Amino acid sequence: MIPLRLLVVIVLAFVVLLVARLFRGWRGRVRTETPAVPLVPLSIRGAAERTWVIFTTPLCASCGPIEARLRATDPHANVVRIDAIEQPRLSHAFKVRSAPTVLLADGEGRVTARLVGAEAFERYVRNPA
């Protein structure tokens, strides 16, 4: 009886670890634009050649420092902070599932980078791909 149950547990643990691995890979990746990603609206990016869009939530502790850092390190870019909870349509459109999610858009509104989490942001800033 115990070996059978142990087998069930091993299978379940394997499934959970597999999902965890896939999720981590998906979350930490810097994503370039695909046809499924919409353009960042003109009302958000304005006339800037480059726009950083930071999706935040009221409890996101690292979002403020990220915004400050972007303003300091990329002064010519437009930096926009969006509360994902107050803008559910936008956050849904850009598939925002956690904060911070940072998008980099070019002058046409195309998303050229998508950084999920403070760690991914740090990695990108240190070594932009």
Partner 1 sequence: MAGSPTPIDPRGPRFNQAVLTVGLLCGFVFDWKAVVPVFAVVLLLGAAFGPRYGPFLRLYADLVKPRLSPPTELEDPRPPRFAATVGVVFLGAASVAFAAGASAVGWGLALVVAVLAGLAATTGICIGCEMWLLVARRRGLISGA
Q: Is 23 in the site for partner 1 (CB under 8 A)?
A: yes
Q: Is 24 in the site for partner 1 (CB under 8 A)?
A: yes
Binding mask 35-54 for partner 1 (x = CB under 8 A): --------------------
Q: Which residue has the tokens 């006339």?
A: 47
- Chosen residue from 14, 15, 68, 107 binding partner 1 by CB under 8 A: 15
Q: Is 58 in the site for partner 1 (CB under 8 A)?
A: yes
For partner 1, the closer of residues 105 and 121 by Cβ is 121
Binding mask 78-97 for partner 1 (x = CB under 8 A): -----x-xx-x---------
Write the burial class of residue 1 (CB in 10 Å: 0-12 exposed, 13-18 middle, 19+ buried).
Answer: exposed
Chain residues that interact with partner 1, rule: CB under 8 A: 1-2, 5-6, 8-9, 12-13, 15-17, 19-20, 23-24, 58-62, 83, 85-86, 88, 98-99, 118
